[in-house]
Structure formats: C-alpha cells, structure tokens
Structure 1
Amino acid sequence: MRRQEILKKSIHVQNDRFRIDPPRRIAAPSDDETSHPIFG
C-alpha cells in the first residue's frame, strides 16, 4: 500500500517535469522504452 502511494507520487513528479521539459522518450518512444524499463 505504501509502495503504491510512493509510485503515484513519483508518477506525479514525472508528469510535472514532462509538462515543463518533455523527455527525449517522446521523440523516439520505441527505442527509449527498451533502454528505460521504468516506463514499463
């Protein structure tokens, strides 16, 4: 339960950062997904 909350918070932070400065992953999703397993 605690882990889920931390995960949610982490995703929230990523979303905020995404709004300000989109990650490179958007430019090339296919090969970034393999190198960044955190995005699932």
Structure 2
Amino acid sequence: MMENMMLGLLGALNSGVTLGLANTILTFGGVVLNLNIVVN
C-alpha cells in the first residue's frame, strides 16, 4: 500500500516538474520571439 502511494507521489511530482519545465521553455520562447519582433 505504501509503495503504491510513494510511486503515485513520485509520478505526480515528475509530471509537475515536466509541466513546469515545458511552461518555462514556452514562456522563454515567447519572450525571445517578442524581442525579435521589436528589434526588427
């Protein structure tokens, strides 16, 4: 029972980190795109 809970917790943490990373990359990409538009 405890092992399943731990695995679930790890999975949730992992997906949260993955989503956060993807969000950061997308945000950074958007900022770079905006800067390129402003410069040009």
Runs of 4+ in 1 over 4 A off after TM superposition: none
Name the counterpart of 1:2.
Answer: 20
**Which segments of 5 or more consecutive residues in structure 1 lack a partner in the other structure?**
23-40
Aligned length: 22
**Aligned alpha-carbon RMSD (Å):** 1.0
Which structure has more helix as a fraction of its residues? 2
Q: Which has the higher contact order (CA 8 A, sep 6+)?
A: 1
Name the counterpart of 2:35.
Answer: 17
**Which segments of 5 or more consecutive residues in structure 2 lack a partner in the other structure?**
1-18
TM-score for the superposition, normalised by structure 2: 0.50
